[in-house]
Amino acid sequence: MKKIILSVFAAAIAFICIWNCAVEDTEKAAKAPTADEIVDKANLVSYYAGEDGRANVKMTITDRGGRTRSREMTILRKDVEDEKDQKFFVYFHRPSDVRKMTYLVWKHVGRDDDRWLYQPALDLVKRIAGSDKRTSFVGSDFLYEDISGRGVDEDVHELIRTEDEAYVIRNTPKKTGGIEFAYYDVWINRSTFLPTKAEYYDRKGKKYRIVEALEVKDIQGHPTVIKSRASNLDAGGNTVSEFTNVQYDIGVPGDVFTERYLRRAPRKWLK
């Protein structure tokens, strides 16, 4: 009888342990963010820090043979509405062939962006097709879409694994027209939700492009990438971007982000 009682008691304890573990696992699963929630938070952290912002950027472009050239610019940003429309103004300082060139983007969520490029050598303001996002940004390995961001609703998101420090999200485009990749995987820091690496794959499943954060710094309470690199694995080149004088909530007026400032850059905000 004593053995039977002990066996029943042991079974009860085991059942309680299994039940508690099952409850804990269920609670953890309930608390774990979904792929869409992770991507939404990452998008907010990456592109919506503060109400506006400014940064000086130096791009060093290196080709397969090791030859380098550079671009120096200032980027201004203003949010129209959190997680929605934004405006970007880019002014080029160096080298001489791009000096005083300006680039203006009105980013729209759910439809094509409005984009303008001013070429001082020709004194010409050129309208850029909003759908032409997947082309090189001023000859670098970064793309126009890298500057203002890709719409989160343009892809299907899947959490393919969770690592110690990152969620790994696979993003597959809903529409393939004008898109050169089949899918891309993004590593998103589990603590800050800042994306730290993206790997792009072609239709044959071959990895051909990597964009990664090389250095991250907390600025005004916002985790900020201050050094990044885009690598073209097929061409063998890469571009490193270094961000300095990064500031948020500086009060950039909305009229800076209009066509009239393309020819007459707002120097007060570009220092």
The tens digit of pLDDT for each residue in 175-226 reads 888 789 999 999 999 999 999 999 999 999 999 999 999 999 999 999 999 9
Within 10 Å of residue 55's Cβ, how many Cβ atoms? Answer: 20
The residue among 151 and 229 whose pLDDT is bigger is 229
The tens digit of pLDDT for each residue in 107-119 reads 998 888 899 999 9
Say yes or no to pLDDT of 23 above 80. no
User: Which amino acid is present at 145?
Assistant: E
Domains parsed from the chain with CATH numbers: 37-269 (2.50.20.10)
Do residues 236 and 40 lie in contact, with contact meaning Cβ atoms separated by under 8 Å? Answer: no
Q: Dihedral of the CA atoms 100, 145, 80, 39 (nearest 10)? A: -150
For residue 144, what pLDDT band results from cuts at 50, 70 and 90? confident
Asked whether the bond before 253 is cis by omega within 30 degrees of 0, the reply is no
- Bridge pairing between strands 183-189 and 155-162: unpaired
User: Which amino acid is present at 134?
Assistant: R
Q: Which among 76, 128, 122, 69 is positioned nearest to 100, based on CA atoms?
A: 122
Q: Report how far residue 61's alpha carbon sits from residue 221's, in angstroms, rounded to the nearest whole number.
A: 30
